[in-house]
Structures are given as C-alpha cells and as structure tokens.
Structure 1
Amino acid sequence: MFLRANGGAPPWRNSVTHDIPRRTATQEWVLWSVDALDITPLDELAADCISPAASFSSNSSFSSNSDYDLETRSPSMSISGTGSGHVTDRDLSAMELFRRAQVVRLKSHHDKYLLAEEDEESVCQDRNGSIKNARWTVEFIEHSTGLRFKSCFGTYLTATNIPFLLGITGKKVLQTLPKRLDSSVEWEPIREGDQIKFRTRYGQFLRANGGLPPWRNSITHDIPHSTSHQDWILWDVDVMVIQTFNSLDSIASSTGYEPILPPPPPPWMTTSHHHSKVESSPSRDHHSHHKSSGPQDESTLKVEGRVIHYKIANEKGEVEEGEEVRLIFKGSEVEELKERLKEETGLEDIVVCSRNPLNQKLYPLRLQLPPNNNDMHVVVVPSSGDVEAPESP
C-alpha cells in the first residue's frame, strides 16, 4: 500500500492514510514532492563531484538545445558551490556562492520571506513564500562585489535615505525603478556561517524587523546595536532557479574552476500535475493582500479547456474561506463537470452550484456552461445541502 494524502469533504480533508488507489482521480493522491531540508556539504560530496543543488533539484526541464533549467526549493540555506573535489563550500565567498543563483528567496530570522508588495513600492516579510512576490532575480554588477535584486514587478530592492520613523536610526527599504542604477540598489553579500548578510555601500545591513506594529514585518537597513537584534540582519537564501548550463562557461572563468554537469533528468520529472491548490497570502497589519497566482506561476504548457475553481460546502451550504482547488475541464456540459467533480472530491451525490453575486446565495448550474472557456468559480454541495431552487423560465 502507499502513503496517501486525502482530499474532499471532512472527515477526509487533510487526512493521511495508506491505501491502494483504485480510481483514476485519486492516483495522484499517493504522489509526494520531496523538499531537501539538510543538504550534505560539498566537501563530503567531493568524490562524486556533483552540486547538491543539482542533486536535489525538485523541478527539471529539458529544452530543445540540450540545456537544463534546474530549480531547488530547500527551505534551508541552499546556495552551494559548484566546484570540483578541490573546492569546498567553506572555501567560497558569498559572491561565489551566488554565481549559480538566478532567482532566489530571502528568508529572515523570523522565518518570513522578503516580499515585494503589490503597490510596487513597499517591501515586507511574510510566511507565505510560495507567491511570485517572494522571488527575486539576481543581477551581477561588473567589477563590483555587489548584487542587485529585481522583483517580479521589474523594480529593484533599494536602500533609501527616508527614515522609517522619526528619531529612529533605521531607514526604509523600498522597491524602486531609478532612471540610473546607482549604489542604492547594490547589496554586498557577506557570509556569516551558513547565512548571509547584505550590506549597503554605506555600511548598513538589510534588516527584517520584529516586535509590535509598526515594526512588525517591516524591512529597513541599519546597523544593529542591540545584541538581541544581531540575528535580524541574517538571511537564509533559497535558490529557486539555478543558472542554465550554457552560461556556466562565464562562471568557470570567474571562479577559476570547472562546474561538473549532472546527468539528464528522467522523463517523468518533466511532467506536472493538472491541478493544484491556490494558496492565499495571510493578512497582515497595514499590508495589502497578495495575489495567489500570476502569469509567472502558470504552467508554461498551453492548456486546452477552461479552469474550474471549486470549493466544497457542507450540508448547510456553508463554505470555508481561503480553500479553493482548481482543475482543467475540457467539456461544456454541466453533467460532465458534475461527474468530473465527483471523481475529484470522492463525493457520490453532489450539486454543482454558482454563487449569485447580488445576494450571495447558491444556485444549481443547469444545461451548458458559459461559452469561450472562461474561468469559472463553483461550489460543490452535497445533494442534501441548502441551495436555492432555480427560478422557472
């Protein structure tokens, strides 16, 4: 039997069992993604000459020009060297560790990720690191030890001269798009054990603040003078996208050693699930909500059909907020959708409903779905649930 993560309505929802899935719709319930929490140091892997980031990549794709795009989503410090057996991770500076990084996440001492706010100006920290706002593209600066971090909006992480609060030494960190990329958008990475500090040109450090509002979840640049705040300038770096191998020639010339390429990924690693849960960002004081998905989060494959977003209601027609599942549906009939949702949810007798935007009541869907394959939001209600009867024509 297989370890199985169950879905559907309670008591099945979020439960874990071991079973043999016999229905097509539940075959994927026994599939698990594996995140490497502890990566073996490079000096222990010297005999194999394989990069830990490449070894534990969680999503690989094979392109037509035989290059590889590797991703790793380790929640621990995942920047590792790419060298041979003569080079260990302790021999590498912070800049050399960043040579393989193309897109990163920065996680603070408070276990929160550095996010670019939707207003395209503010930055904050939040525990939801799965959204695009947590991804920062790394840009190298020629003849410099600094880096630039570009947000998903094309803006840069910027150390400003604006005081965060009057009478307080900390200055605001924003996302900006200056006409000229000056030293305010440059951050020098400095190793502190397995973590990184980011220093501005003028000696301050990128700092994730804690405590009560307005300090909570704010980001400033400052020099911490209190012993209890020394950890607030330390960051874990998660490498989300590793530089493609056709660009490693420049890495070899800059670091002085040749990278070792891992073998091609197996074919099954290039496939993706046909649906996934849509995560929503938790609310925060004085911070806006973040969109759970965007163009960069969607599959790069062209999908035929429409996206159905559905929630499961209880027998009273009540729906829990924040839980929404999506699937790709190619049909046009309500009955076809009903059968598909039966398979997805594991429920036998259901009513597929839509919510009236005026009175927020649930009404059963009838006949055909709307044309043009537009996305739909529906609610799955057990047949004995509390829904409004459809009006007579």
Structure 2
Amino acid sequence: MEFFNKAKAVKLRSHLDKYLVADDNQETVRQSRNSTSRKSRWIVEFVDSNSHVIRLKSCHGRYLTASKEPFLLGMTGNKVIQTVPAKTKDMSIEWQPIRDGFQVKLRAFCGTYLRGNGGPPPWRNSMTHDSPHGGSTHSWILWHLETVDVPENETLTDYLSLISSFSSVSGELSGLDLGSPVSTESNDSSWSFTKKSKKSPLNSRTAMDLFHNATAVRLRSHHDKYLTAEEDEESITQDRNGSSKNARWAVEFVENSDTMLIRLKSCYNKYLTASNHPFLLGMTGRKVIQTLPSRLDSSVEWEPIKEGNCVRLKTRYGQFLRANGGLPPWRNSVTHDIPHRTATQDWILWEVDVVEILVQSPLPKLVPHSDSFASESSSPSTHSTKSASFSRYELGDSIIDSPPKVGDGRTIYYNVADEFGVVDEGVEGLRVTFKGNGVEELTRRLEEETGLDNIVVCSRSPLNGKLYPLRLQLPPNNVTMHVVVVQSSSRVATEFVNSVTPL
C-alpha cells in the first residue's frame, strides 16, 4: 500500500512492458506500449482514510471495474472495463494492492486479480480479472507502478490541444506560433526535427525495407486499429478487426521514379487516394478514399518514411496519411494532413504487418566460369539489395526473420485447435524460435506463448491428416516444424489416452 500513499496518479506496466490504458470509447481497457498518452494515467482515490483499498479513475472520469461478464464463453477470466457506478459504494471498482517484491498485485472484491494477458488474439493486449492457476501465468498479475504528476492547468491545456488539432485557426486560440504550410519542405523538416532531434536521420529507402518483396500488408494505426476499405468501395476508416479482407492492401511499386513510391490497392481493386475534398468544411485535413482512376496519377502514390519501427506515408504534396481519434465525426476517420501539434503527431505513424510476400530464391544458382555470375556477385549494390529482401518480414502480429542459422534454434509454426482438434484455416499460424530438443520443454514454451495451461503439442499425420501427440525427442535444430496445440481437457486430447495409433 505504501506505493500509493503519496501518489496522486500512477501508470501500471504489465510483465509484457505494456501499460494499462483506457480506450476512447470510455468502456474498454487494454494494454499498449504507448505510455505518453493520458489514457495510460490513472488517478488514485482512497475508499476511506483507514482502508487499504483504492479506486483507479481513468482520464475519462470512469473507474476501473471488475465486471461479472466473461471475456470469452467457456474460458476463465471476466472482463475489466471502465464504468461510472450508480451507487456510491460499489465494490466492483475497489482494488486492494498487495505487494509482491518490487511489484504489486491488484485484488478485486471477489478475490481475483487484475491480469494483463498475452498470447495470440483475442487474448493479446486484453485485460481480465482472474485467479491464475498455472505458474506460467502467475507473472501476468504483477504490475510495475510509475507515479506521475497531474498538471494544475490540465483542463486549459486539453482545451487548447483539442482546438489546435481540429481547427486551422488553432494558432490564434492557443497563443502559440503553429505556423502555416508556406511550403511543403519547411513543414515536413520542422516536424522531423521535433521527433528525431536525438536520432540519426532515416530516409525513405530505409523504409522500403518494410515493404520489400511484400505483395500485401496491413497498416495498424497509433490507436491499434487497422486501415480498412469500407464496403461502399469509396470510404476509408479504421477498424480493430485486422483479420478482415478489408484490412488487406496489395502493394504496387511505382517504377521510373526519383523517390521510392508505392500504391496500395484495396480488396475491391481500388487505390488508396489522397483526395482534394475537405473532410469537414473549415477544418484541416482532406479525405482519403478508394478510387480507380482511368490514369494512375500522383494522388494514389505514397512515399514511405521510416520512423522507428513505424512508417509515415507521405503524399506527393507533402501531407501524411493520418488516423484520427477523438469524438465523432473524427473518431475512426482517415485523412491526409500536416500535424502541427505534438498531441497529434503520432496519428501519422503506422505499423506495417506483411501478410503476403513474394517468394524468391535466396541464393543465385551457381554456374562455374559464368561471366554473368561473376559480374553479379562482384556488384556491391546487387548484394545489398538481395540481402535486404530477406532481412525481416512480419506475418500478422508475429515477426518472420531470415531463416535461423544452425545453432540459433529451429523455427516452429503453431496453431491452436478447438475442442475437436479442428484448426481454423483462416487463421494464420504463429511462429517461435526454439533451441531445445525435448517435447516437455517445447510444451512449456508454447504454454507461455499461448497463455494456455495443460496443453498437448501435436503433429499432423501426412497420411490421413489426423493429429497425434509428440512424445519423442524433436528433430535436429535446423528442421522447421509445424505443430498444433490442443488443451488436455478437450475431447480430442482424451482420445489420445486410449489410442496408440495416430488419431
């Protein structure tokens, strides 16, 4: 409890180095790596002076609440949400801090604990309250505390920030010299200086490594939502469903250009287009839509500029693809604009998830005494391009690097099966690198990755396609494996006990 005695506000960081944040919908909570936003700050309130129980209030004035609604039917763990209780005394918003070394556990009124979940979706980044039964998930209820200050003039600061992000006259209201876009280069360079004053400059060629050999990608915004093509085949929005075909964008490279440019085509075979139509009259920002022009022009061309692990997508006129937040009609909208304020500069950053790559042979065919081969191997530019194309890819939310060397561990792809051992073919397999040779060690590793307890690691028979559990030592480290994870309580797992042959 001594952690909270002098703290007016705190940030809670999970074992995954992600922060507990309150979403803009003023209902859900989740984990995020962004700790600079107000959404990661929680005001501490004591229930009474003699109590060891606290309440945590979000930036929206709502309390962190242990609800009675299950997160997934048939699974342990109930939802944690934001609410404003009808009653003054509501135990669902009360949490008891319990010290555990240099960390704390937050126990709810029903004896469960606030838990930051890991593993594949939908568990990834979710928040529940539960009683951990397995050692692999015990650390999921441990939280690091970071105390933060609450500015006295925060209300005025927030008002000016809101005005400046929505209005072109924000410079006069806030009293700050926000400038006007006199020229494209001046605005872009000043923004880059603010964000990268302590970093070495990164050019657009570096950003192309994220798209090299990619034939399809997903773009995830600062709000953890995906760039999505609407069914009207015109509108563009943000959506949390990244598995939809509408969140998939085919990549085309613009040839014969002085800079590296790409086009992004939606599932309706229409291009992501920076239009000249204002999103709202009198406001900054113009619409981003889907079009199929009779002649491909600069409005469908985007220049990727790398920023850390993300990219900015710049139009030929110096504006950037921006994912908007805030209140409707801005919420979930997508525009192209030049951000003038620090509060909205992260809105133009996008994470690139490569969902389909162009398969190429990583090594050229060796032909002795070949002049063409000798000239190709002696060219440094050719060698760098070849090596870069196989350096790093992302598939879904997992990262696919170049094939590991012998000794670095084997590559294992895994899917999670249902009660009957059926794997959803529409869900992409995830990947881990595993250095051991024992089945038991692999089982423990996959329990940590999936967040499931008491699992059985299976392989699929090449003869009949049925599953059978792995019992022997694994093949050598340089052998790639595909496995299926089933829970020991499932129906297909109980059949393993009475069966010797593959199921």
The alignment's TM-score, normalised by the length of structure 2, stands at 0.36
Tell me which protein shows more strand as a share of its residues.
2
Bigger Rg over Cα:
2
RCO comparison, higher one (Cα < 8 Å, 6+): 1
Tell me which protein shows more helix as a share of its residues.
2
